[in-house]
Chains A and B, each alone.
Chain A
Amino acid sequence: MHAVLRADPEAVVAVTRSAIFIALCLTVYGVQAAVLPEDRADFLYHGYDGDGLEVNGPSILVRKSMKDKVSVWANYYVDMISSASIDVVTTASEYSEERQQTSVGVDYLHGKTFMGLSWTNSEEDDYTADTVAFGISQDFFGDLTTLGISYAVGRDEVRRNGDTLFEEHTDRQNFRVDLTQVITKNFVLNLNYEGVTDEGFLNNPYRQVRYLDTNEARGYAYQSELYPRTRTSSAFAVRGLYYLPYRAAIKGEARTFSDSWGISAYNVEVGYTHPFDNGLTLEAKYRYYDQSAADFYSDLFPFQSAQNFLARDKELSSFTTHTVGGGASYEFKPTWIPFIEKAEVSLFGDFIAFRYDDFRDVRVTDVAPGEEPMFEFDGWVVRAFISFWY
């Protein structure tokens, strides 16, 4: 039997959950050049394993165009979660649950103008999120420049298992601007800005913070976390792709982030793609991420209700990650399926090292509160998928 108090699925702050749906919604159709996306179907298996948390499941994305004017798509995604993360083992008990996400969208091409409209629904036993997104883009300057804007609005319903009276809501808006520019015949650059505003219940209904309490044998006690009811953030990214002389590509990315909660973050990434004549393509990448803590975050508060807002969510702490990833794709012609033009099987894996600067491992109990070692863990991410073009 599970404890009434649970930590959040995927050790995720509730506040980020809907933003994910909106961001993914924008990502799925994004801002395209003035040409309809290819007709294709992708069947993906995803897996994540890290910090006692296992998440896996399928994702199916199907897209079909009609008369070179309209393209419709649908995505069905499932997270099957089994969690014994540090938050769960220290304040609750292990649990399993499932999240299902369904998205549908339609894209319309008129001349050099591309428009997309989509709807996404995500369902968990204690969380429902709905998002509508719209985007429009236009090619300029001999098709060397593509400028696009996207807007998404979402409303979430937050519930708490074991408490039928608990119900909160969150409203979200995302605004995004994309500029893709051909610099030379071998170099293309992408600039991306995204602003996000949230209003409503933004903290996790299960998560707790700890504070010093001499009445407790361990020296500290827990109370519910409390976040502000608004959050505004801005992110800006620059990406580049360069075609090397021997048919390979290198990628680069730099992104900065800041929000009204005092979090500042940046990440840089480099990647390399090398195709071979036999249909095999190899890829490798490295990514570094660094963030500062939210203003109201503390691993250990000095006393109960020490300040207006309280957080001990490690996603709001100060930490860095290193990601090393790679994978292979193999393209082939499945002659046994008549209407399939080509197919590709892919396998990618990423190793992520999380290193926290102010989130302590409270599983270590033979030291004074606040003297525990800093928490760290390594995670693995796997994507295996097959794609068909028709």
Chain B
Amino acid sequence: MKRLFALCLIVLAGGCSSIEPWVSPFERNHLADPIMSFNKAPVSSSYLHHVYQAREGARGAEGGSGGGCGCN
């Protein structure tokens, strides 16, 4: 039982260590390209969501969140 507890502690401690980014900042030029944005034109995508929502029963999770380029 003690060994199991120790093993859990090791695993949990390992989870606290910092995670090295697997995509370096200098490798993110593709991700920073405007074509890689989930919401390139907010005013247009908002309107299109409105069109869908007005005519469909589903609602929510339409997107519009920012891209994940991690370039800043």
Partner-B contacts on A (CB < 8 A): 10-12, 16-17, 19-20, 23-24, 26-28, 30-35, 37, 42, 44, 46, 48, 59-61, 75, 77, 137, 139, 141-146, 148, 174, 176, 178, 180-182, 184-186, 188-190, 192-196, 233-237, 239, 241, 243, 247-249, 253, 255, 257, 259, 263, 265, 267, 273, 275, 281, 289, 291, 294, 315-316, 321, 329, 346, 348, 350, 354, 379, 381, 383, 385, 387
Task: Encode B36-62 as 1/0 by CB contact (under 8 A) with A.
Answer: 111101111111111111111111111
Interface size on B, residues (CB 8 A): 47
Partner-A contacts on B (CB < 8 A): 19-23, 27-28, 30-31, 33, 35-39, 41-72
Q: Which residue of B lies closest to A43 (CB)?
A: B43
Q: Is the interface of A mostly helix, strand, loop or mixed?
A: strand
Q: How far apart are the CA atoms of A139 and B38 in the complex, in Å?
A: 17
Q: Which of A144, A237, A329, A348 contacts B61 (CB 8 A)?
A: A237
Chain A residues contacting B37 (CB-CB under 8 Å) are 241
Q: How far apart are the CA atoms of A383 and B50 in the complex, in Å?
A: 13
Give 10 new A-B contacts, CB below 8 A, not counting A16-B54, A23-B59, A289-B56. A23-B62, A26-B64, A30-B64, A44-B47, A146-B68, A146-B70, A233-B58, A237-B62, A289-B58, A350-B51
Whether A196 lies near B59 (C-beta < 8 A) is yes
Q: Is the interface of B mostly helix, strand, loop or mixed?
A: loop
Whether A20 lies near B50 (C-beta < 8 A) is yes
Known: A144-B23, A354-B55. A27 touches B38 (CB 8 A): no
Whether A185 lies near B51 (C-beta < 8 A) is no
Whether A12 lies near B72 (C-beta < 8 A) is no
Q: How far apart are the CA atoms of A276 and B19 in the complex, in Å?
A: 37
Whether B62 lies near A385 (C-beta < 8 A) is no
Q: How far apart are the CA atoms of A195 and B30 in the complex, in Å?
A: 33
Q: How far apart are the CA atoms of A349 and B60 in the complex, in Å?
A: 23
Q: How many A-B residue pairs have CB under 8 A?
A: 224
How far is the CB of A120 from the nearest CB of chain B, in Å?
11
Q: Which of B19, B31, B62 contacts A27 (CB 8 A)?
A: B62
Known: A144-B21, A190-B38, A241-B38. A178 touches B65 (CB 8 A): yes
Whether A188 lies near B68 (C-beta < 8 A) is yes
How far is the CB of A256 from the nearest CB of chain B, in Å?
9
Whether A186 lies near B55 (C-beta < 8 A) is no
Q: How far apart are the CA atoms of A316 and B59 in the complex, in Å?
A: 12
Chain A residues contacting B66 (CB-CB under 8 Å) are 30-33, 37, 137, 146, 180
How far is the CB of A81 from the nearest CB of chain B, in Å?
11
Q: How far apart are the CA atoms of A137 and B41 in the complex, in Å?
A: 20
List 29 A-B pairs, Cβ < 8 Å. Answer: A10-B55, A20-B59, A27-B46, A27-B64, A31-B65, A32-B65, A33-B72, A37-B66, A42-B42, A42-B44, A44-B44, A60-B43, A61-B43, A77-B47, A139-B70, A142-B19, A142-B21, A143-B21, A143-B70, A146-B70, A182-B23, A188-B69, A241-B37, A241-B38, A249-B33, A249-B36, A265-B57, A348-B44, A354-B55
Q: How far apart are the CA atoms of A385 and B19 in the complex, in Å?
A: 42
Known: A257-B58, A315-B57. A75 touches B27 (CB 8 A): no
How far is the CB of B61 from the nearest CB of chain A, in Å?
4
Chain B residues contacting A236 (CB-CB under 8 Å) are 61
Q: How far apart are the CA atoms of A235 and B56 in the complex, in Å?
A: 13
Whether A20 lies near B60 (C-beta < 8 A) is no
Q: How far apart are the CA atoms of A178 and B47 in the complex, in Å?
A: 20
How far is the CB of B11 from the nearest CB of chain A, in Å?
19
Q: Which residue of B lies closest to A267 (CB)?
A: B58
Chain B residues contacting A263 (CB-CB under 8 Å) are 57-58
Whether B70 lies near A144 (C-beta < 8 A) is yes
Known: A185-B31, A273-B35. A12 touches B54 (CB 8 A): yes
Q: Which residue of B lies closest to A57 (CB)?
A: B47
How far is the CB of A12 from the nearest CB of chain B, in Å?
4
How far is the CB of B50 from the nearest CB of chain A, in Å?
6
Q: How far apart are the CA atoms of A77 and B46 in the complex, in Å?
A: 11
